[in-house]
Structure 1
Amino acid sequence: MADPLRLRPEDRPDFEAVLHLALTSTDIQAALGADPTGRATARLRLRALGDADETAAAARAEYGTYLALRTSAEPDQPPHPAAGSLLPALAVLTPLIAATSAAVLLVLGYVLQLTDTEGTLPGSLVTAGWVLTLIAGTSALLAFAATLRTAIRGGDGTARAARVQQARQNWQRALLDRGLLPHLRRCLREDPVLRPTPPLGVRTADPHDSRNATNPKEHPSHVGQPEQGPADQPQ
């Protein structure tokens, strides 16, 4: 069964960013300076990327919190995107159209009443104008309520996004301190190229080694003195 807290593909860029930060730390850089070719740095980076899941397990608690907050902060997808985009437009246009139509009908109806026009037309126009006025007021209140609700949800979304960002930073810090830095230091100790060599001691001459045997004729006490022949020997 797959581990639910296994490092997800969308979080790989964050892992690589933290790895880059770990590689630039002072002690890691000092150790990598022993290999001027840069091959040790490449080997260390490839090994850390290959062991990403095992390294990330050191910060699984913070990673689980980050995943939970990120999942809860994801917006729900509307089932009908077309309807979702049409409703805000209707909420804005309905009060304007209703108010304009109401004003025209009311003015026309009252003008006809002032001119003593016979019939039911002036009264019908006035009634229709007041109905449209009521519709305009109601739709305006609904639009204001929808706008207020969107503002409240937007503020809540901002706070939730801040919590997600804080959880992400906590995970990255735990990944750096408890995961990548110990892993890189262990890899450096295991790298034969970067392993420190013990200092060479002073070589002790072997008295039985013929190569190190001193020629009596080359002894400092014989330098500059002629060899004694049989005639020069004391009687």
Structure 2
Amino acid sequence: MRCLIVDDEPLAHRVINNYCDNLSFLNIEKGCYSAFEAINYLNENQVDLIFLDINMPKLKGLDFLRTLNNPPLIIITSAYQEYAMEGYELAIQDYLLKPFSFERFLKAVNKAVQQKKLLETSKNKSELEITTKPSSNSISNSASNHQEHIFIKGDKKTHQVALDAILYLESIGSYVKIYLKDKTIVSLDRLTNFENKLPNNLFVRIHRSYIIAVRKIDFIEGNRVKINDVFVPVGSVYKQNLTKFLK
């Protein structure tokens, strides 16, 4: 992955560079010490991932992010935790609070790698996609069997999302990340509310932090489910939900 560091602190550059030296799949293309330097670089170059600081002079990190029409994957690296909510509303991959360990850094990077694979897979499959209708004799809950879309509030908008486009949902603190075929929506909501909204003939909760679209399962291996190159854990408390669905 081609990476860009945007941070006004030299120490932050050294830490991230040292961490990336241990990961052969990450390549730091450039280190920028201001948002303006990053804008100039991105006007002529493309990257896959930006490690972005927030508190920078003249142009703050989140304001810089809003200027990008088609931003790459973003991992925030900041000493200020109060911007986390605003950051997740901008669909960042993760929020690293300085100083952060290598283990925490690696966890954030792995999320970005999985998201990149997800986007690439969706792009390759887009021309071959066939939309299917829900079965008329499926089990129903409070949502109609004929429900095809759901409205989701996130990123300061209300999105109309096709159920068939949802891969899985992940609860992160007070947020829920909805992973779609071609993008991710971050919603200030509870996973339980989505569990009640989504038809239970199409979706099942398999972990306290995850709901999956059953049609998107590639295979089940032990206590994890593979969906589009991403392995989603199956919690022991919720394992019976998946077992009942399969029966």
TM-score (norm 1): 0.21
TM-score computed with the length of structure 2 as normaliser: 0.20
Select the structure of larger CA radius of gyration.
Answer: 1
